[in-house]
């Protein structure tokens, strides 16, 4: 590159470095002068960075406001423009391509929430910590909080006054010191009252929810079309995966759009009697979505927070009748029957006080349900059941029919004990398949690629024996490392289940990936532990399901 003073000095020589610093100093001075400030104000800039439910602001290290106010990186600041104000966590940058010294940048999340236009003159100052943090500190010390405490915490979280560090403090305190049943009731009420609530203007709005922890288990995509085909209203809003390889919304997204507005949900529900959508776009119990954004990376899933999360979402979605599925097994979230019974009482206590008709079923959680673990593989299982394919996974079919039967018995015109037969007739007649196809078309059908990931390997039995156990957690983690749910074709295809006899060298399951790095991560985990246990005798009889 030509040098203005003749031949360019070699890098590292004194003359070259001095000239470079002088030139960079002139450039920086010109940029600052090009963005004049007035009374300590800065020009607002939209920074195209997705910070996922956290407000983040960006200031240049040479910004006069940054220096004058004594800000520190990761401190919380308040930004104002007229009536607009927002709190954000501060990131300090040295790259003027992000923000120059006369600008204040906001991440995509924060810019949308702030509401001012790019270029607006904004001010920044230290933010006071949310007042409800005092209640969080008391909870960290083991105190029991009252209803007013949880209401204040939920409001401050909904107003984005908490940083992710403060959210983590609340979640860990609630998880480790525990929430008693009254605290769970107060938190649930506070969470659903801080967002919108759908009103279907019907006396019976059905829903179902599984507490999770069992890979596969895509029963909602079968239950919803069965119930809707019967004529009952079942507008299913589901979450995306938190710690699992796929949530109902992730799997349904293979076939249709799941990001629906409240207006679209209302229209679909009344027109087709059901839908399968992601609840995050409807602003239903938004505090729950914010908490989940921190729970996910921390892997937190305490029972009290889980009850509040599930019921706040269902109440906000306008559900009047709810069926809760609690799988029990050695590697499920709930490992003992006594835990399941205690959790059922907790759900029933909160449900009774909040006016929702709630029933809990305890099901067999010893192993994954269905054969596929991961969005595309789970869609395959669901379609096989709906199409009455003789190769469809029998456990997924049976569990879905039992759950659908229990929900059908919410209908006062259905006699107790007759729900299963009605559900089976709807499935075998093809009406459930037709209903799901109609829902897919109404939500916005996708050009579905139903081929699993092209990179694959098989894990084979090392000896003859009978499959005595399958580790739900291990298989779910393998599927996640393979790329699920972001990689729709990634996951695990189970070839044998508990009770099956295998010979040495026969495949137990096949792992699919879309990316080479994910393929290697999953393969290395499988080599350490396949997640399968083999023995000489069949496993003990399963728990009595569907009670």
Host H or E run for residue 387: none
**Model confidence at 13: pLDDT above 50:** no
Average pLDDT over residues 311-331: 96
What is the share, in percent, of the chain residues with pLDDT greater than 90?
76
Average pLDDT over residues 302-329: 94
User: What local confidence, expressed as pLDDT, does residue 279 receive?
Assistant: 77
**Model confidence at 540: pLDDT above 80:** no
User: What local confidence, expressed as pLDDT, does residue 26 receive?
Assistant: 40
Give the pLDDT confidence of 383-400 residue by residue, as tens digits.
Answer: 999 999 999 999 999 999
pLDDT band at 129 (very low <50, low <70, confident <90, very high): confident
**Model confidence at 33: pLDDT above 90:** no
Listing DSSP states for 396-452 in one string gives HHHHHHHHHHHHHTTSTTS-TT-HHHHHHHHHHTTHHHHHHHHHHHHH-B-----PP
Average pLDDT over residues 190-198: 90
Backbone φ and ψ for 17, nearest 5 degrees, come out as -65, -40
Q: Buried (b) or exposed (e) across 311-334, using 16+ Cβ within 10 A?
A: bbbbbbbbbbbbbbbbbbbebbbb
Query: Angle formed by the axes of helices 375-386 and 220-230, to 10°?
Result: 40
Average pLDDT over residues 295-313: 86
**Model confidence at 238: pLDDT above 90:** no
For all residues of the chain together, what is the average pLDDT?
89
**Model confidence at 11: pLDDT above 60:** no
Average pLDDT over residues 407-414: 97
**Model confidence at 225: pLDDT above 50:** yes
Provide the 3-class DSSP secondary structure of residue 355.
Answer: coil
User: What local confidence, expressed as pLDDT, does residue 176 receive?
Assistant: 79
Look up 301 and say whether it is catalytic. Answer: yes
Backbone φ and ψ for 104, nearest 5 degrees, come out as -125, 120
Contact 281, 515 (CB under 8 A): no
User: What local confidence, expressed as pLDDT, does residue 428 receive?
Assistant: 98
User: What local confidence, expressed as pLDDT, does residue 241 receive?
Assistant: 80
Backbone φ and ψ for 72, nearest 5 degrees, come out as -125, 150
Average pLDDT over residues 195-219: 93
User: What local confidence, expressed as pLDDT, does residue 229 receive?
Assistant: 98
User: What local confidence, expressed as pLDDT, does residue 29 receive?
Assistant: 38
Backbone φ and ψ for 464, nearest 5 degrees, come out as -70, 150
Average pLDDT over residues 159-173: 90
Q: How far apart are CA 56 and CA 63, in angstroms?
A: 17
User: What local confidence, expressed as pLDDT, does residue 20 receive?
Assistant: 41
Which of the following is catalytic: 149, 156, 289, 301?
Answer: 301
**pTM of the predicted protein model:** 0.84
Give the pLDDT confidence of 49-102 residue by residue, as tens digits.
Answer: 998 778 999 999 999 999 888 899 988 999 999 989 999 999 999 999 999 999
């Amino acid at each position: 590159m030509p040098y203005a003073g003749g031949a360019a000095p070699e890098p590292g020589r004194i003359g070259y470095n001095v000239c470079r610093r002088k030139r960079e100093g002139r450039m920086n001075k010109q940029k600052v002068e090009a963005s004049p400030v007035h009374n300590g104000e800065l020009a607002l800039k939209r920074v195209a960075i997705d910070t996922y439910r956290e407000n983040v602001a960006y200031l240049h290290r040479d910004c006069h406001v940054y220096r004058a106010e004594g800000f520190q990186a990761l401190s919380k600041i308040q930004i104002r423009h007229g009536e607009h104000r927002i709190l954000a966590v501060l990131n300090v940058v040295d790259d003027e391509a992000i923000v120059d010294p006369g600008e204040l940048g906001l991440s995509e999340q924060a810019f949308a929430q702030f509401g001012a236009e790019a270029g607006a003159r904004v001010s920044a100052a230290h933010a006071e910590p949310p007042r409800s943090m005092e209640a969080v500190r008391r909870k960290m010390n083991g105190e029991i909080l009252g209803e007013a405490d949880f209401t204040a915490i939920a409001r401050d979280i909904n107003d984005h006054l908490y940083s992710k560090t403060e959210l983590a403090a609340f979640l860990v305190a609630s998880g480790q010191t525990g929430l008693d049943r009254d605290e769970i009731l107060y938190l649930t009420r506070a969470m659903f009252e801080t967002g919108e609530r759908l009103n279907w203007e019907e006396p019976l709005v059905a829903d179902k929810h599984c507490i999770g922890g069992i890979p596969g288990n895509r029963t909602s995509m079968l239950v919803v079309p069965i119930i809707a085909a019967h004529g009952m209203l079942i507008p299913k809003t589901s979450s995306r995966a938190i710690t699992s390889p796929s949530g109902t919304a992730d799997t349904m997204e293979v076939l249709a759009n799941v990001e629906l507005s409240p207006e679209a949900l209302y229209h679909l529900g009344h027109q087709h009697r059901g839908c399968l959508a992601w609840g995050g776009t409807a602003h239903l119990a938004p505090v729950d979505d914010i908490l989940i954004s921190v729970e996910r990376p921390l892997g937190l899933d305490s029972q009290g927070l889980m009850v509040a999360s599930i019921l706040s979402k269902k109440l906000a979605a306008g559900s009047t009748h709810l069926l809760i599925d609690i799988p029990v097994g050695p590697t499920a979230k709930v490992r003992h029957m006594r835990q399941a019974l205690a959790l059922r009482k907790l759900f029933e206590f909160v449900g009774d006080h909040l006016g929702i008709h709630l029933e809990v079923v305890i099901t067999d959680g010893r192993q994954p349900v269905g054969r596929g673990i991961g969005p595309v593989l789970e869609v395959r299982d669901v379609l096989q059941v709906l199409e009455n394919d003789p190769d469809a996974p029998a456990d997924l079919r049976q569990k879905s029919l039992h759950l659908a039967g229990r929900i059908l018995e919410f209908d006062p015109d259905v006699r107790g004990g007759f729900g299963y037969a009605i559900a089976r007739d709807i499935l075998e007649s093809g009406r459930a398949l037709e209903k799901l196809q109609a829902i897919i078309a109404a939500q916005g059908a996708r050009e579905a690629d139903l081929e699993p990931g092209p990179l694959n390997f098989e894990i084979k039995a090392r000896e003859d024996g009978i499959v005595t156990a399958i580790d739900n957690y291990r298989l779910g983690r393998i599927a996640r490392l393979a790329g699920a749910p972001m990689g729709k074709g990634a996951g695990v295809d189970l070839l044998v289940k508990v009770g099956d006899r295998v010979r040495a060298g026969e495949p137990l399951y096949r792992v699919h990936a879309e990316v080479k790095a994910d393929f290697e991560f999953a393969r290395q985990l499988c080599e350490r532990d396949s997640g399968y246990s083999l023995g000489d005798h069949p496993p003990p009889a399963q728990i009595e399901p569907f009670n």
